[in-house]
Amino acid sequence: MKFLANENFPYPSIRFLRDKGFDVVSICEKFGGISDETVMQMAVNERLTILTFDRDYGELIFKFQNDDPPDVIYFRVKGENPAFAGTKLWDLMQNENLTIEGYFTVIEKNGIRQRKLRKV
């Protein structure tokens, strides 16, 4: 699975995921200051799952009914340290019943919610 870490996604979490073997493109490292719409288009073009703490992606996808939305993992909880998001995602991905592809996934304090984006 390949990820696109939004500007607000902490670098220690990016480094943790990379150390676990995931391909993570960081907006901060290469494309700082681009718009959310550009991030979404990049994710669609390169088939990347967006990692973000920005709730605007839900609005962009669901309110404006994007025909080919990217997969998004939205963290509503920040955790106690900058590596929290990476370790939380790693823990969740160990669950063989969890499918990220084709979903808008919300990670909350007490669990996750998912909304289907398209047929997979």
List, for residues 15-67, the tens digit of each pLDDT value: 999 999 999 999 999 898 899 999 999 999 999 999 999 999 998 888 877 67
- Predicted TM-score of the model (pTM): 0.93
When the pLDDT of each residue in the chain is averaged and rounded to a whole number, the result is: 92
Q: Is 52 helix (H, G, I), strand (E, B) or coil?
A: strand
Supply the pLDDT for residue 88.
95
Q: What is the CATH number of domain 2-116?
A: 3.40.50
Q: How many CA atoms lie within 13 A of 117 on its CB side?
A: 26
* Helix residue ranges, H only, the chain: 11-19, 27-30, 36-46, 56-58, 84-93
Domain range list for the chain: 2-116
Supply the pLDDT for residue 119.
55
Task: Give the Cα-Cα-Cα angle 67, 96, 66 (nearest 5 degrees).
Answer: 10
Asked whether the beta carbons of 9 and 52 are under 8 A apart, the reply is yes
Q: How confident is the model at residue 115 (pLDDT cuts 50, 70, 90)?
A: very high
